[in-house]
Amino acid sequence: MKKLCSRLACLALFACLTGAPTSPLNAAPPAALLDGERLEAVTELVFTEGPAYHADGSVFFSEIANNRIMRLMPGADSADVFLQPSGRSNGLMFNARGQLIACEGNERGGLGGRRITSIDVVTKQRTVLADNFNGRRFNSPNDLCLDKQGRIYFTDPYYGPDRDQLELDEEAVYRVDPADGTVVRILGREHVARPNGIAIASDQRTLFVVDNHPLQPVRKLWAFSLDANGIPTGERRELHDFGAGRGGDGMCVDRDDNLYVTAGANRLYTNQNTDNPAGVYVFSSVGKLLGIIPSPEDMITNCCFGGPDLKTLYVTAGKTLWSIRMKTAGQVTWPAAE
């Protein structure tokens, strides 16, 4: 044993004196051979977004890259295709009647519907609720929330490279009333640069909007007071500035009006740094950061509450649907699981 220990000690001393690496993990990149700084993503085969919890216990979510909506049934180990093509659906949410409301976008491959639709989860029949503003097609409907009257607030940014196809000159926030199809632009370029996630407070008096425009750059979380008719009034209030790191994407709200904003990135993306780690950033309704739920995977995109007690937070990030139990129940439009 003494001879063995002496031999190991000699080997360790030799490694230190000669500079030989003791583990492959210590090896530096081969600078003499590299002509780039880091590995870059070339393409994405899967891009999950817009989770929505159904009263039967299913979780629906968009898979934008493959132009489909997936459904994870209660107790299932894997999700099945619910609808394909989906119109490049992004944000999803159920209304009080159990219909799946979808933002059909126009990014990550095109072929998107560029509209707001209602989907019957039994027959899979789609009804177009809105596809234009003043005769011009929407850019790429991204995310949505519903008020207690069933009206749909949705964001209409465009993150794709080809802007020649756009018919509208603004990336704005709209509200559609399914009862008569009326579409109103409630926030324009004077209020937001590139709106993304959106949520409404439980008392229906505040609209929360994620503003994420990496090129300007603007990466902020805003609050807008709503009047009795559900229209923003007065000045916007800045709740948080994400700075130079990746800003917010989708969000949801719990019963205490705490905001759960998916944001940040663990690897470097164009036009932003890695100051903000990937995770769910939890804010109070006045913008106090309560904490960050780390995400094991980039890119984190959206979240929703579900489970029989509405205390399970579902998160889409990269190719995966994640979940974590919470102590506070989420805020939803429809009743709890039946």
Taking the C-alpha atoms of residue 299 and residue 77, their distance in angstroms, rounded to an integer, is 22
Sheet holding 80-83, edge to edge: 48-53, 59-63, 68-72, 80-83
pLDDT tens per residue, the chain (338 residues)? 444 445 544 444 444 444 555 456 667 776 886 676 766 655 556 899 999 999 999 999 999 999 999 999 999 989 999 999 999 999 999 999 999 999 999 987 668 999 999 999 999 999 999 999 999 999 999 999 999 999 999 999 999 888 888 999 999 999 999 999 999 999 999 999 999 999 999 999 999 999 999 999 999 999 999 999 999 997 899 999 999 999 999 999 999 999 999 999 999 988 999 999 999 999 999 999 999 999 999 999 999 999 999 999 999 999 999 999 999 999 988 765 44
pLDDT for the residue numbered 32: 83
Taking the C-alpha atoms of residue 115 and residue 183, their distance in angstroms, rounded to an integer, is 12
Q: How many domains does the chain have?
A: 1
Task: Find the domain containing 233 and state its range.
Answer: 48-254
Q: What is the DSSP string of 30-46?
A: -TTT--SSS------S-
Taking the C-alpha atoms of residue 20 and residue 290, their distance in angstroms, rounded to an integer, is 46
82: its two tokens: 């619910």
Residue matched to tokens 């904490």: 291
Sheet holding 218-226, edge to edge: 195-200, 206-213, 218-226, 232-241
Q: Residue 39 falls within a domain, yes or no?
A: no
Q: Residue 331 falls within a domain, yes or no?
A: no
pLDDT for the residue numbered 28: 79
Could you give phi then psi for residue 307, rounded to 5 degrees?
90, 160
Q: Residue 250 falls within a domain, yes or no?
A: yes
Q: Residue 310 falls within a domain, yes or no?
A: no
Q: Residue 267 falls within a domain, yes or no?
A: no
Taking the C-alpha atoms of residue 280 and residue 12, their distance in angstroms, rounded to an integer, is 44
pLDDT for the residue numbered 333: 80
113: its two tokens: 């519907």
Question: What CATH code is carried by the domain that includes residue 172?
Answer: 2.120.10.30
pLDDT for the residue numbered 46: 84
Taking the C-alpha atoms of residue 93 and residue 121, their distance in angstroms, rounded to an integer, is 12
Q: Residue 132 falls within a domain, yes or no?
A: yes
pLDDT for the residue numbered 41: 58
Q: Residue 318 falls within a domain, yes or no?
A: no
pLDDT for the residue numbered 274: 94
User: Which residue intervals of the chain are DSSP H helices?
Assistant: 2-18
By residue count, the chain amounts to: 338
Output b/e per residue, 248-260; b: 16+ Cβ within 10 A: bbbbbbbeebbbb
Q: Residue 67 falls within a domain, yes or no?
A: yes
pLDDT for the residue numbered 13: 44
pLDDT for the residue numbered 2: 47
pTM beyond 0.85: the answer is yes
Taking the C-alpha atoms of residue 51 and residue 59, their distance in angstroms, rounded to an integer, is 7
